[in-house]
Structures are given as C-alpha cells and as structure tokens.
Amino acid sequence: MKILMLHGINHNMFGKRDPRQYGTVTLDEINASLSALGQELGAELEAFQTNCEGAMCERIHQAYADGVDAVLINAGAWTHYSYGIRDALAILTCPVVELHMSNIHAREPFRHVSVFAEIVMGQICGFGVDSYLLALRAAVSAVQKTQKTGQ
C-alpha cells in the first residue's frame, strides 16, 4: 500500500515556527514517525513538502498518475483559500485525509473554513503530531475496507 503525505507551505519551518501552536518537532521527525507507523501498518509512505502552490498541484497530479492508495494532506494556510489545490485533490480517486496539528476551529476565524472539506474523506485536527498518526491510521483503514469490498 502506497500513501503520499503532502506537507504545505511553511511546514519546512516546523520546530522553529510558533512553538505554542506547533510544538518543537521538526518536519523530519514527523516524517520519521509516519514512516515507522507506516511500516507497522504495512504501508509505504512517501513525504513531499513545498512552499509553491503549483508544485503541490503537480505532485497531486503525479499521485493520480502513479495510482497511490491514499493521500494525507496538511496544506497549512492553503487549506483556507487554495481552490487550485482543492481542484487537484478532487481529481484523485483514492481516500484523502486532511489534517492539521492545531485545532483550526479554535483559532482565527479565517482558519475555520477548509476549501477541501467537501472533497476529502475526513479531517483530523488539534492533536499535534498525533494528528499525522491518526490520519495515517484512518487512511490505511479506508484502503483496507476498499480492498475488501473491491470498490
């Protein structure tokens, strides 16, 4: 099972950026935790991070062409306004799980809206690094259900 983790804008600064919201964990540490859990769950995880919206869309297109089994996305601020990324995600036929380290519904009003919400399988937020691990578990479960039912 192949799962793609998409990290959005400014996530390369985890560990340095607003530790009150995001803690001190780095992106490399998050990816290592995801890879370790992926191995336990029988999933191969590939991580991609960019600060360029077009590059994110192109990586999503590549995921479609590659036939990945599921996509996890923490798009950061793009979550709230990027219709380009939303439309790219809508092309995918696999489960897509949106996640955020902070509880976006308890923050500034502009963060309460996700333009991805109506096209993703679900959203996990507010659990810090555990949001990533919960999202991976949800994606693996969704893929396994799809494989059992053949749909």
Place of tokens 């963060």: 111
Q: Which two tokens stand for residue 89?
A: 């995600």
Q: Please tell me the predicted confidence (pLDDT) of residue 14.
A: 86
Mean pLDDT is lowest, of 21-35, 36-50, 70-84, 112-126, for 21-35
Task: Enumerate the active-site residues.
Answer: 22, 100
Reduce the DSSP state of residue 118 to 3 states and report it.
Answer: coil
Q: Which is more confident, 149 or 35?
A: 35
Q: From 139, 128, 140, select the one nearest 29 (Cα to Cα).
A: 128
Which residues partner with 70 through β-bridges?
3
Q: Please tell me the predicted confidence (pLDDT) of residue 151.
A: 61
Q: 71-125: per-residue pLDDT in tens?
A: 999 999 999 999 999 999 999 999 999 999 988 887 877 787 899 999 999 999 9
pTM of the model as a whole: 0.92
